[in-house]
Structure 1
Amino acid sequence: MTFISWLNTHYEDRGPMKALAFFFELVAAIALFALMVLTCIDVIGRYFLNHPVIGASELTKIGLAIVIFAVMPVVTWRGGHIAVDLIDNFLPKTVLRIFAFVSMLIITTSLYFVSIRIWELGARMLRRNITTDFLHIQSGHVLQCIAIFSWLTAISALVYLLLTTFRANPQESVLGAKE
């Protein structure tokens, strides 16, 4: 089985989002695997060799940020966020579509402006040369990585908003499958 056929089998996304989803999930998977290895080595070092990995907590925090923010664009594109549908049975579909449009518009603009603020904070941390305590990793680079992933999530939310608003069949999801 070739990589392309495997990708087509396991990813329902269409167009460039298929490759982007694979890339973002690959980044998150590599970071998660590295966290697992780090935790195992730290536990073995801490309890059997009486020598924990120095800076393991810092690397864990950075790794968790990468895992979380790397998959946010994919989850947003696929509409995979948690949604509470307590009032869906009582309101007409048109009102629900308006609510969905307004909420996605708020999410998109919020992500955009929060990303700008995170980027500015990262730039300020880089100017002030703020580093982590043990490993002296530039904290600004981590924040700017989070800002980039948040911008990509905002773009994903905008694309999701446009595709769900202007699709011909409201019963069809963004991925093309029936809901």
Structure 2
Amino acid sequence: MAFSAWLTAHYEEKGPVKWLAFSLELVAAVTLFLLMLLTCADVIGRYFFDNSVDGTTELTEIGIAILIFAEMPVITWRGGHVVVDVLDRMLGSTMLKVLGLLSAFLISTSLYFLAVRIYELAERSLRREEVTEYLLIPVGLVVQYIAVMSWITAGAMITYGVYRLLFASDD
């Protein structure tokens, strides 16, 4: 089976969104694998060689940030967030679509302005040359990544998320 056939069989998204979803999930999977290797090396080093890996806590924190914010756009446009549907039986389908559009707009707007503030904090961190304690990794770069991924999530929510909401029954 060719890779593109495998991708089409395993990803319901269409067009470039499918490739973006695959790329982001690949980043998350590789990060998770590296976190597993780091944890194993740290535990083995600590218990068998009496010497742990320096900066494990910092690398784990950065890895978790990479993992979470790589998956956030994918989860958002797939509608994978927790949804409370207590009133769905009482409301009509038109009202549910209107409420869905309103929530998509509010979520994407909130993420956009949150990302603006996060990016400002990243710029300040880079100007001050803030680094992690042991490995001296610039903190601002990680914070910029979080801001950019929040912008991508906001864009995914307002574009593909709304598309799925409006045209999900037509597929």
- TM-score bracket, normalised by the shorter chain, equals over 0.9
- Given that 1:76 and 1:160 are in contact with CA atoms closer than 8 Å, whether structure 2 keeps it comes out as no
Q: Which residue of 2 aligns with 1:151?
A: 151
Distance in 2, Cα, partners of 1:75 & 1:101: 17
Q: Percent identity?
A: 51
Count of matched residue positions in the alignment of Structure 1 and Structure 2: 171
- Listed as ranges, the gaps of 5+ residues in structure 1 are none
Q: Which residue of 2 aligns with 1:82?
A: 82
Q: 1:136 to 1:107 in 2, by over 3 A?
A: same
Q: Which residue of 1 aligns with 2:26?
A: 26
Q: Which residue of 1 aligns with 2:93?
A: 93
CA RMSD of superposed structures (Å): 1.3
- Listed as ranges, the gaps of 5+ residues in structure 2 are none
Distance in 1, Cα, partners of 2:67 & 2:165: 30
Distance in 2, Cα, partners of 1:161 & 1:5: 24
Which amino acid is the alignment partner of residue 171 of structure 1?
Answer: S
In the alignment, is residue 65 of structure 1 matched against residue 65 of structure 2?
A: yes
Q: How big is each residue's C-alpha offset from its partner over 1:60-84, in whole Å with a ceiling of 9 and x where there is no partner?
A: 0000000000011111111111111
SS of structure 2 residue aligned to 1:171: helix
Distance in 2, Cα, partners of 1:162 & 1:32: 30
Q: Which residue of 2 aligns with 1:132?
A: 132
Distance in 2, Cα, partners of 1:23 & 1:57: 26
Greater percentage in helix? 2
Shift of 1:89: 1.5
Distance in 2, Cα, partners of 1:132 & 1:38: 18
